[in-house]
Amino acid sequence: MELKEVLIGYDIREMWLDITSLWNMERRKTFLLRRDVPKPASVDPAVWPSVFDVDIAEPAEHMMGIGRQDTYNTSQWDEVVENHTSLTLPGKTGYRQSLWNDLSELKQAVSIAWSTIWKPVCVIAVTKVVNTSDDEQTEAYSNYFVHPNRLHPSWQLLGYDVADDVLTGFISNAGYREDEIEILQTQWVRHFNQWHLFDSRDLAMKYVDVARERDPMHGPFAAYGIYGIQRLELGEQPDF
């Protein structure tokens, strides 16, 4: 079996929410095999929220004082919060309505709302691992339009995720039963990196089989690569 990574889209994911609140120990025990990771990443926005999905309806919990740094003042932070309320998904998305086809359009959509101050984020590209010997699967992605349509050498691989076809994560968003945690941790925990992702594409493909065994009624499952294009701190603007 010959594998190929096909670029399927882009997104901008938050890097400002308080991890202790977002990933408390109870959630870590339920959804993570390696529980000491600083911040789990995933193609699944329920694990790693897109900037379009973050709910700021409860600013006291999610925004004010959580993730706030001494590097900016109250008026700057107020502007960040105000700008975020105007950030809405324009409905022009790509793969499964979860990723963007065009990187420039993605940047423009956020820049319109965050015209002066961007919050801390990570701009990502997502690939799907496909079997090139499967003619039907290969053809399905050969004409899939994304722009740019190739990974850039400067983009950093964060790791490989395993998810179903609608990008529901199966590494960090499929609760582990008590009777399977110890076995899976023994076999897999050492393979997860600081993002709770696999560094190895081959290991991610093996974990696809684990996902099928754990939930044979779900799927189809696949391995997805997550590449960091640019990480921005408060007030920085993307240069792509």
pLDDT exceeds cutoff 70 at 83: no
pLDDT of residue 88: 66
> What is the 3 state secondary structure string of 135-168?
HHHHHHHHCCCCECCCCCCCCEEEEEEEEECCCC
The stretch 84-92 carries a mean pLDDT of: 62
* Domain spans in the chain, listed from the N-terminal domain onward: 3-232
Summarised one tens digit per residue, pLDDT across range 12-67 is 999 988 888 889 999 999 999 999 999 999 999 999 999 888 754 334 333 333 34
The torsion angles phi and psi of 175, rounded to 5 degrees, stand at -50, 130
Relative to beta strand 121-131, strand 3-14 is antiparallel
| Reported pTM | 0.85
**Is 121 in contact with 15 (CB distance < 8 Å)?**
yes
Least confident span in 72-81, 199-208, 222-231: 72-81
pLDDT exceeds cutoff 50 at 90: yes
Give the 3-state secondary structure of residue 23. coil
67 backbone φψ class: left, alpha, beta (φ>0; ψ -120 to 50): left
Distance CA 232, CA 136 (A): 39
> What is the 3 state secondary structure string of 40-74?
CCCCCCCCCCECCCCCCCCHHHHCCCCCCCCCCCH
